[in-house]
Structure 1
Amino acid sequence: MAEILSADMALERAAALLAAGETVAIPTETVYGLAADATNGEAVARIFETKGRPRFNPLIAHVSDMAMAERIAVLDPLSRKLADAFWPGPLTLVLPLREESGIHPLVTAGLDTVALRMPKGFGAEVVRRLGRPLAAPSANSSGRISSTTAEAVATDLGSRIALIVDGGPTPVGLESTIVKVEDGAVRLLRPGGLSAEEVEKVIGNPMLRGSAGAVVAPGMLASHYAPAARMRLDAAEVWPGEALLAFGPKRVRAAENAVAVANLSEAGDLREAAANLFSHMLRLDRSGATTIAVEPVPKHGLGEAINDRLARAAAPRDKPLAEE
């Protein structure tokens, strides 16, 4: 079983394991990540093996500063403007990969682009101590609910990794927002913990949505973030035997019949709902219900990312790619 150390005691141990090519679960401001040296192919392969992750799905490379980012990728002026505004933080930029980047092709899924993010807190500290970028997808079995606590990581992956760094519950609770600059326009590839409105305020224009169909960034599979139970979205009532993922102060019909209830935010606060999403989904999944009914969540602000995760959690499990 994995060793669990608090973040204020784990830096040296985590850096040593990562330098040796091992995987380590680390806290970030978004969700917990399953980290490995992004320049070491065997280490990156351990991420895929541990998660059971499809190898055509690229990973995010995490950096500690702009100098490291510029050694790996080419930042156009608009991407640099976004980095200046939101790094460190929950924004990932898909950028052209430099020839001498050192990033292993498994990280990029063989693409000529790389997804880069600069995290806050322990994530940045361990990258800085290692001196190399870290590939760090969410610390959970592939396609399943992302982990926002060390306990959730231990339950899912604890028998497969050496160390879990406990930084407490993650404050954002959703994966990063992923964007790509194309011909002077910004395309939103995955909504996340930074709202589209915040990005659009900086760039001064609406973002394009979706992609041309290819998986060019993490989190673009149609079925993702899924519990074992089925998800029924925008429910107007609770059916017999269902659990209820609620939102706001008012309940749908027959809510009293739910086998279990978890409210994303009693006050209807989308930031609170985002932080609670994965932990509440996990709690309801453990209730024994075969279906989780989900009350409607507004689609503005962080609601866009919340609804994206809910839609992917509810998608047919045999559907290979997002149709965007």
Structure 2
Amino acid sequence: MRNIKKALRILQYGGVIAHATETCYGLACDMTNPTAVAKLFGIKHRPNDMPVSALFTSIEEAKKYVEWNALAEDLATTYLPGPLTLILPLKKNTIIFSCLKSNASSLGIRISSHPIARRLAKEFGKPLSTTSANLHGQPNPYCVDDIVPCDLILDSGNLPEVPPSKVVDCTGQEPKMLRL
């Protein structure tokens, strides 16, 4: 698909793209590029102290960056890929993503079940941001007309209106549901 190749070039050069996920349209940028992340936060009008999650291709890829535990394994085995974000401790001496606060000790990880999100994550080869393609605090976008302006929109038509991903904090002994 020609548009995927164009999207990958835009991501490589610090751009922000919109793409479909299994929950709604999302924004992606290179999480290792501070300029791209700043652009993403500006587009969304998102406060800088609210980190975004990382989109990975697989559990194995995510394990390179976070401390995997039994709780995460149980949830991932049952629900991933799919609409679930797991918050896990960052590995020591790992790249601290520019989308995180300097004192961040954890990272939200997503492994999408949507074929476009999966392909972008796989072909880009580095962690991508994953956040809804709306202004901060506004309703999730399910059609391209509701997406905030960005460098490229991969139009997948109208998406079903489903809830956002569940967010589970797996940094402690017990899971904490942060978003149902």
TM beyond 0.5 = yes
Match of 2:75 among 82, 85, 99: 82
- Structure 1, gaps ≥5 residues long: 1-7, 192-324
* Bigger Rg, structure 1 or 2: 1
Q: Does 1:188 align with 2:177?
A: yes
TM superposition shift of 1:185: 1.4
1:60 and 1:107 in contact (8 A); partners too: no
Counterpart residue identity of residue 142, structure 1? H
Residue in structure 1 matched with residue 166 of structure 2 by the alignment: 177
C-alpha distance in 2 between matches for 1:183 and 1:49: 32
Q: Which has the higher contact order (CA 8 A, sep 6+)?
A: 2
Residue in structure 1 matched with residue 140 of structure 2 by the alignment: 146
Q: Does 1:97 align with 2:90?
A: yes
* SS of 1:136 mapped into structure 2: strand
Counterpart residue identity of residue 130, structure 2? A
C-alpha distance in 1 between matches for 2:101 and 2:131: 12
Residue in structure 1 matched with residue 50 of structure 2 by the alignment: 57
Residues 166/103 of structure 1: CA separation in 2 closer, same or farther (3 Å cut)? farther
Residues 164/110 of structure 1: CA separation in 2 closer, same or farther (3 Å cut)? farther
Match of 1:68 among 19, 37, 61: 61
* SS of 1:175 mapped into structure 2: coil
1:92 and 1:115 in contact (8 A); partners too: yes
TM superposition shift of 1:170: 2.7
* SS of 2:175 mapped into structure 1: strand
C-alpha distance in 1 between matches for 2:101 and 2:80: 21
- CA RMSD, Structure 1 to Structure 2 (Å): 1.7
TM superposition shift of 1:151: 2.3
TM superposition shift of 1:109: 6.5
Relative to the length of structure 2, the TM-score reads 0.92
Residue in structure 2 matched with residue 135 of structure 1 by the alignment: 129
C-alpha distance in 2 between matches for 1:57 and 1:80: 26
Q: 1:297-312 maps to which residues of 2 (within 5 A)?
A: none
C-alpha distance in 2 between matches for 1:183 and 1:142: 28
Residue in structure 1 matched with residue 119 of structure 2 by the alignment: 125
TM superposition shift of 1:26: 1.0
Residues 108/91 of structure 1: CA separation in 2 closer, same or farther (3 Å cut)? farther
Residues 57/183 of structure 1: CA separation in 2 closer, same or farther (3 Å cut)? closer
Residue in structure 1 matched with residue 26 of structure 2 by the alignment: 33
Residues 110/67 of structure 1: CA separation in 2 closer, same or farther (3 Å cut)? same
Residue in structure 1 matched with residue 10 of structure 2 by the alignment: 17
Residues 150/57 of structure 1: CA separation in 2 closer, same or farther (3 Å cut)? same
* SS of 2:131 mapped into structure 1: coil
Q: Does 1:163 align with 2:152?
A: yes
C-alpha distance in 1 between matches for 2:101 and 2:160: 27
TM superposition shift of 1:183: 4.1
C-alpha distance in 2 between matches for 1:109 and 1:147: 30
C-alpha distance in 2 between matches for 1:103 and 1:12: 27
- Single out whichever of 106-115 and 58-67 deviates more from structure 2: 106-115
Residues 107/124 of structure 1: CA separation in 2 closer, same or farther (3 Å cut)? farther
2:41 and 2:48 in contact (8 A); partners too: yes
C-alpha distance in 2 between matches for 1:42 and 1:83: 31
- Structure 2, gaps ≥5 residues long: none
